[in-house]
A and B are shown apart, each in its own frame.
Chain A
């Protein structure tokens, strides 16, 4: 909200130190986001009369102009053509500094000395016009300002400061000048003087469906509606000072009726709406719910369809409409007027609405119709239902200044009152305020902080105050929650920066969970493998979703930022492969990237806790370095498993979901299974290579344009990292033998259908306690072995804890291992 300091001073004698005022406003929570200094730099600019205009030889865009600055003729060079001899124009003399720091010096152009500058509106920061020089208009009596008059005086301007104040959503009272002045005056200990317009004749108070100027059919949407008739209105311009204030506050002056309404809103926070009564059928109003599908053309010229349920939670589509006597809607209550009864030059009789609309209903209407107005912003936050009388009287007082000799306020008026908020009364315990703030305020301190804010404070007993909260502060709740609101007021009054600071202590230690520690280690492992951590989009296009090969349904976003990225990602594949390509396009190829993040799918079991979405935290590592392939991914997994002490894992060949499309290479990938703590096998992820079609479709290729192999490790962290979910290597140390070990090399011819891991596992079992390690060191396929088989060569290291193994023992172990493999796998020793 734009708040001119000159306007604030109307209500309390605020000082001149603009920075201090801005800081105080900040400290009150009325944050000053900017301060515009009006008239700054215009102190030296004077009115000059154009005396002579002549050409400059050899120049067709600039002219020599002689002006009279009130003391002497001044010669300047000017490039504007919109003035004539006799006009009054602003002259910035040599030595003056214009807004924005532009210093005027003596210049010589085409042999002509320019002794100053004639200025446009924009150069003076008085407007946007840069087409020509600002030519000063005669005043109301046809008099033109005398040369030498200071420009600010000639324009009737005073130097001013306009604060741009950010008002929080809970402070509707501060959305007006008197509201800001009240907070500021309270803090500075100044007396606040609100406008006291002469009171109007009391209105006939009615309830509900009254017979007067207005009938309210829906008092739940519009709890109070006060209507007045103003006759003999001469529509015309507002007083200059009033129009100027509106402009400073950022509103465009329109005519005296509309301006008075806007002025009162900015001054007191109460929106009002003037109707041209002669254009209202029956000359009266009805307030009711809009019927489903009913239409209205609002003042902005847009036709709106009303009474339609919106997407918001619990939004049943209720709009409050103001209708004329024929039942036709003429305004959208609390939001915007209609075009049909707008005030125009020929308006003579005004029906003035000043109402209190239900905040929730206005909020829903404004959101549903995408129509946010000065009025709706105030009503949805909560206007003061008791401020209506003052606002109407003030509007009439202001309008009387320009509305002509016939202007009068009809004595008959209707005020329909339903269930409006009443002043909240609450008990405030000083001890509780201190317990919340950590302070030692007395009862008097608390009362002293509240009273200047318009609260009635009464001491009930020692340490207990009875506080009556004015209706313009709906943010302060009734008991019991209101005590906290009052505590904030007390803190604001003293200033947050002056409150004490203490450092709390508690016996419980701070810590990370096991899962958080393991996740950090997992990330470190990936870095150690040369991978960079990426952060890719949580959203995916339908094409990207299909690429991920997730068979569960994708979760759709109801209001996506980009129409095509309307799904939540179900896989880390598209993001990471996209990141590889992004880098490749910038000539960073051969990378390893990883990501840790959530993936989403529609929960097949309906989900839990009202959330039908399954979220899984995953880790994925893409290995696209030179020579990277499934083996790199497997080696990476081996390191991960070691670090996380995963005791018992295996790779089951093939990929999940086949024959449905999968992003993985079907014959170079496998499912990682681990032994769960409950001894079942659980899947923790996949390891292998991306499908060549996936890498090709994403444009990943090597220097010669061939699709590259990308090793892929993709882990479900909800299984892998959840404490107790997998069986881990025990923490107990395994004793190490002090006696020399012996290696036995065994090569078997094994059918291709037998996984090498199965052979190794058989060797492990057969070697028993003496077996220290089994390592595959050679694989041979070729003419020396039968078709459909290969030779697997293992080195088995054997060792006993308590002695050196004898040749006989070694031979026996060797024989039993050979026998186990031959009988278990149909293999033969080579």
Chain B
């Protein structure tokens, strides 16, 4: 017959040992001694069978409580020690970044590469700068007013279906959003021009846009657009058509041309879609262009008088045109990229080609 186990004393003793344990190893040793296979606790558990039912239940419960208590204490201690040990390990490799020696850093073995979207955007910007355009940027998080309202797209307008929009869960529902196109920058630019006493605008606005499109070979939910806006005296639809043609040949090459056909955008009137000679077949007709020899690139038109009203520009004195198209689409067409999703995979075997 062994002496009855003093459970309280055992718990007190083991928790004291855990509290003074200085390493996770020590915690493990204490835990094994108090709770392991050869511990008094386990031995007491084994001898429960010899007790009468009431005693067995009471002692059994006390043993379980003791085990749970000790396990919790051990876990806490282990976590604290682990954090301290990690901190110590990190501290041991501490650097004074002022101790920079001339040969500390590895020099690159080869050049990296800009992303294809960057090189495409740069080339587009350069083309437009050469044509006399400034390059202007604007925020990616916008209000309903800049993305829709000021652009003559009131709430519930059927045209809103053209942009499946990501809304942000801030403020009133559906008031703050990720811009679905770069057109809000036009509005901001015109507001700024009015605030400055109305100066003419000749600008392109490249940037990132967001639409709730499931990614596929031709669409990404996050994509890039470039938009152009000219507001000046005497600007006409003929100027728009001429500007599009100049850009097309300058960017895609002298054998690529443009044509316009009627379309609808709430913020331009008259509006047009612009197509360019198929860059694959050079106009003779192929599968990519459905045999037409033309590929749709973007939309354009004369700034709608309602938009001028919204920003406070006198549409009788000033006229203007706007156009816009996808930068990623341009890259896809120019480099014959079968699947748009390669642009966001960041596979270096793809990235290093450009």
Contacts and interface: CB of A to CB of B under 8 A. Distances in A.
A631 to B, nearest CB: 4
A776 B271 CA distance: 65
Interface in A434-482: 435-439, 475, 480-481
A763 interface: no
Interface string A632-674: 1011100000000000000101000000000001111010000
Contacts of B41: none
A483 B308 CA distance: 14
Given A169-B162, A314-B155, A631-B105, A598 B140 contact: yes
B269 A487 contact: yes
B346 A583 contact: yes
A513 interface: yes
Nearest to A377: B158
A602 interface: yes
Contact of A558 (B122, B131, B173, B348): B173
A226 to B, nearest CB: 24
A533 B114 contact: yes
Interface stretch (A94-102, A115-123, A607-615): A607-615
Nearest to B309: A481
Interface string B108-149: 111111110110001001001111111101011111110000
Given A439-B238, A777-B102, A538 B222 contact: yes
Contact of A510 (B91, B131, B210, B232): B131
A398 B96 CA distance: 91
Contacts of A492: 262, 270
A315 interface: yes
A687 interface: yes
Given A651-B97, A756-B99, A792-B99, A502 B262 contact: no
Interface string A543-563: 000000000000111111100
A626 interface: yes
Interface residues of B, number: 112
Contacts of B234: 435
B30 interface: no
B193 to A, nearest CB: 12
A308 B264 CA distance: 32
Contacts of B214: 561
Contacts of B242: 501-504
A27 B167 contact: no
Interface stretch (B16-24, B49-57, B58-66, B299-307): B299-307
Contact of B141 (A504, A531, A597, A613): A613
A529 interface: yes
B112 A481 contact: no
Contacts of A756: 96, 98-100
B222 A537 contact: yes
Interface in A309-329: 311-315
B344 interface: yes
Contacts, number: 341
- Consensus secondary structure, chain B interface: mixed
Contacts of A670: 97
A512 interface: yes
Interface stretch (A273-281, A520-528, A729-737): A520-528
B158 A527 contact: no
A171 interface: yes
Nearest to B127: A510
Given A439-B238, A502-B238, A503-B243, A634 B100 contact: yes
A638 to B, nearest CB: 8
A535 interface: yes
A576 B306 CA distance: 43
A527 B106 contact: no
A481 B305 contact: yes
Contact of A593 (B132, B173, B222, B346): B346
Contacts of B270: 436-437, 484, 487-488, 491-492
A501 B242 CA distance: 5
Interface stretch (A136-144, A216-224, A359-367, A384-392): A359-367
Contact of B129 (A475, A510, A592, A635): A510
Interface string A218-240: 00000000000000000000000
A629 to B, nearest CB: 8
A62 interface: no
Contacts of B272: 496
A586 B170 CA distance: 39
> Which 4 A-B pairs give the minimum distances between C-beta atoms?
A438-B238, A530-B108, A29-B262, A438-B236
20 contacts: A313-B172, A364-B156, A436-B237, A436-B319, A496-B261, A499-B238, A505-B132, A506-B200, A508-B202, A510-B133, A520-B122, A523-B114, A527-B111, A535-B343, A555-B168, A557-B178, A561-B212, A593-B348, A630-B97, A752-B96
